[in-house]
């Protein structure tokens, strides 16, 4: 009988009232059940929100440096348990150990950044237009944050949301993806051990349509932060309008790497292999399109195919594996359907294009790293997010066409250009429509103290990471202090 894990509500670990469970399986060995997690309903969300509301009364009054010290301790515990956390994460979602260690490290970095922010939370003061009067502003908590996370960064993304929300003095209800509930459980255990009080952090497992949706519709939730698909993000934004919640959406991408004819081609090759096939292509910032200058097109494709044939696909716990499995069966089906679409559209399949089902791969969701060449901007392969190990390559005649192709896309998360021409590099920084641009680096590699997010249909203008996320999780209180001892009228007495 696999282990049963529980929700954490109002300081207690408990099962869902339904008595039903979701299985968490290992995508590298789908017979292995990692654990059973409660299939919660509206009832559990309502209970968690009520607990969060009660706990908020005292949490909002804890000095921010003291809240920061708790998060520092959480970071220290993650450092101690980094290897175990990484191993459990690889088992529950597949990516290779080097990457799951990186995912935990992102959580640690975010905790330490939050701890320091506890002694900052800066706001502005400005002069008053009147004598003997002062103008100040403060960052205040908002209330209850409902946080809904995807499965591809099981520690980093819950930390990006939970830790700033807590530091700012909000209480939290976290709904992790049902493919990765174990890492979220570990995070909550760590926060409890570090000293986050009862009711301030709550964990409710279950499906998005029920648990996630109730958080969005709940009249007493003040803030929603969601990372996931654009389709669900749009529905959330519309629903949250009914209660005027503040909403942060981090959604899909169709990121491109541009390689100009003057680039260091070996460097560009390392970049695209890491960008397109790291996390088996299942990153919001994955390199999904490669735009090659015509002068190096054939040469670069040969280099790419040669290198892909050396990429070992396998269980992420095996140190030989460079690419892990795809997360689940439905994601394999999506990848297969796009391979069919690509062929039907007339793109040229040059490597991969099939599931791996031999020996070491036979009881997992493995897919061969896949490249389509001669992809045209009008093709679905060029336009739609696949979220798997499929790279679409297009030929461009010059820099301007590379920028035009790049921008011909509804998404705008990450982008990359490889060139040794400094003028082109700066034009790319100015003209690529994306929230993030890398020069001579892959499309992936965010650092926790810099803003993260995209333009166009990748989001709704908010950023995670860095200083903007602390603005998202707080309200500004403006304060006027008049010490003149008389009525002073702004806009009137001076004019
Ligand atoms: P998903 O949209 O299916 O699910 C994300 C989360 O939303 C899960 O916890 C899910 O249970 C929940 N959910 C589902 N339906 C819901 C509903 N109706 N109401 C409320 N919550 C609901 O996405 P996924 O498959 O877990 O992740 C892949 C997607 O996430 C890709 O599109 C990817 O680009 C995107 N992503 C974006 C970023 C980013 O920062 N831009 C980062 C990682 C992933
Ligand atoms: Mn899983």
| The two structure tokens encoding residue 260 | 């100009």
At residue 411, does pLDDT exceed 90?
yes
Q: How far is the CA of 228 from the centre of ligand 1 (A)?
A: 2
Question: How confident is the model at residue 186, as a pLDDT?
Answer: 99
Phi, psi of 216 (to 5 degrees): -65, -40
Which tens digits make up the pLDDT trace of 2-51?
Answer: 999 999 999 999 999 999 999 999 999 999 999 999 999 999 999 999 99
Show the ligand 1 pocket: residues with CB < 6 angstroms.
148-152, 175, 177-178, 208-209, 212-213, 216, 227-229, 232, 235-236, 250-253, 284, 385, 387, 413, 458
| The two structure tokens encoding residue 424 | 């082109």
Which tens digits make up the pLDDT trace of 371-389?
Answer: 999 999 999 999 999 999 9
**Band of pLDDT at residue 1, cut at 50, 70 and 90:** confident
129 noted as active-site residue: no
250 noted as active-site residue: yes
| Architecture in CATH for domain 7-251+459-478 | 3-Layer(aba) Sandwich (3.40)
What is the arithmetic mean of pLDDT over 282-306? 98
CA distances from 289 to 19, 243, 302 (A): 45, 39, 17
For ligand 1, atom 15, which residue shows the shortest CA distance?
208
Packing angle, helices 399-407 and 422-431, rounded to 10: 20
What is the arithmetic mean of pLDDT over 117-135? 97
Q: How far is the CA of 92 from the centre of ligand 2 (A)?
A: 4
For ligand 1, atom 19, which residue shows the shortest CA distance?
213
Asked if residue 459 lies in contact with residue 288, where contact means CB atoms within 8 angstroms, the answer is: no
**Band of pLDDT at residue 274, cut at 50, 70 and 90:** very high
Q: Which sign does the torsion angle of CA 456, 458, 462, 463 carry?
A: negative
Which tens digits make up the pLDDT trace of 53-84?
Answer: 999 999 999 999 999 999 999 999 999 999 99
Q: Which of 47, 117, 250, 385 is catalytic?
A: 250
Question: How confident is the model at residue 315, as a pLDDT?
Answer: 98
Look up the pTM and report it: 0.98
For the CA of 459, the nearest atom of ligand 1 = 41
For the CA of 153, the nearest atom of ligand 1 = 43
Q: Which of 408, 420, 424 is nearest to 375 (CA)?
A: 408
Q: How far is the CA of 151 from the centre of ligand 2 (A)?
A: 8
Which tens digits make up the pLDDT trace of 157-216?
Answer: 999 999 999 999 999 999 999 999 999 999 999 999 999 999 999 999 999 999 999 999
Q: Which of 159, 168, 284, 409 is catalytic?
A: 284
Which tens digits make up the pLDDT trace of 236-267?
Answer: 999 999 999 999 999 999 999 999 999 999 99
Report d(CA 175, CA 119) in Å as an integer: 29
Mean pLDDT, all residues of the chain: 98
- Fold of the domain built from segment(s) 255-439: Aldehyde Dehydrogenase; Chain A, domain 2 (3.40.309)
Asked if residue 15 lies in contact with residue 43, where contact means CB atoms within 8 angstroms, the answer is: no
Q: Where are the domains of the chain?
A: 7-251+459-478, 255-439
Q: How far is the CA of 227 from the centre of ligand 1 (A)?
A: 5
Packing angle, helices 97-117 and 82-93, rounded to 10: 120
Report d(CA 113, CA 204) in Å as an integer: 26
Report d(CA 114, CA 108) in Å as an integer: 10
């Amino acid at each position: 009988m696999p282990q049963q894990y529980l929700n954490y509500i109002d300081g207690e670990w408990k099962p869902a009232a339904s008595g039903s469970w979701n299985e968490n399986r290992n995508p590298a060995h789908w017979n292995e059940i990692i654990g059973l997690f409660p299939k919660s309903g509206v009832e559990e969300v309502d209970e968690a929100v009520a607990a969060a509301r009660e706990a908020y009364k005292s949490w909002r009054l804890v000095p921010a440096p003291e809240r920061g010290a708790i998060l520092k301790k959480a970071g220290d515990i993650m450092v101690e348990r980094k290897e175990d956390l990484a191993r459990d994460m690889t088992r529950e979602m597949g990516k290779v150990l080097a990457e799951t260690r990186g995912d935990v490290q992102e959580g640690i970095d975010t905790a330490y950044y939050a701890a320091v922010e506890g002694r900052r939370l800066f706001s502005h003061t400005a002069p008053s237009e009147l004598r003997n009067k002062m103008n100040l502003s403060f960052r205040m908590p908002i209330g209850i944050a409902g946080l809904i996370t995807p499965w591809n960064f099981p520690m980093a993304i819950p930390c990006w949301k939970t830790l700033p929300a807590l530091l700012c003095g909000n209480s939290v209800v976290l709904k992790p993806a049902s493919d990765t509930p174990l890492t979220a459980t570990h995070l909550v255990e760590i926060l409890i051990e570090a000293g986050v009080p009862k009711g301030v952090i709550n964990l409710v497992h279950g499906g998005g349509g029920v648990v996630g949706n109730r958080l969005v519709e709940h009249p007493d939730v003040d803030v929603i932060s969601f990372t996931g698909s654009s389709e669900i993000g749009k529905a959330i934004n519309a629903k949250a309008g009914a209660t005027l919640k503040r909403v942060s959406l981090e959604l899909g991408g169709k990121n491109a790497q541009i390689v100009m004819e003057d680039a260091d081609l070996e460097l560009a090759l390392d970049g695209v292999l890491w960008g397109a096939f790291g996390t088996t292509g299942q990153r919001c910032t994955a390199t999904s399109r490669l735009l090659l200058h015509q002068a190096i097109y054939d040469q670069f494709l040969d280099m790419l195919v040669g290198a892909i044939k050396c990429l070992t696909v396998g269980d992420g716990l095996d140190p030989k594996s460079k690419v892990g499995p795809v997360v689940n069966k439905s994601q394999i089906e999506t990848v297969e359907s796009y391979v069919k679409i690509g062929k039907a559209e007339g793109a040229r399949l040059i490597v991969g294009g099939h599931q791996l089902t031999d020996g070491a791969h036979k009881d997992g969701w493995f897919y061969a790293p896949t490249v389509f060449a001669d992809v045209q901007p009008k093709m679905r392969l060029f336009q739609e997010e696949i979220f798997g190990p499929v790279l679409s390559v297009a030929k461009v005649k010059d820099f301007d066409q590379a920028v035009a192709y790049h921008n011909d896309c509804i998404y705008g998360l990450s982008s990359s250009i490889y060139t040794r021409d400094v003028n082109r590099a700066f034009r790319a920084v100015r003209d690529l429509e994306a929230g993030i641009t890398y020069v001579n680096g892959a499309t992936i590699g965010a650092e926790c103290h810099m803003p993260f997010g995209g333009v166009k249909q990748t989001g709704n203008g908010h950023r995670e990471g860095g200083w903007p996320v602390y603005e998202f999780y707080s309200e500004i209180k403006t304060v006027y202090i008049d010490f003149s001892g008389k009525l002073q009228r702004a806009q009137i007495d001076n004019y």
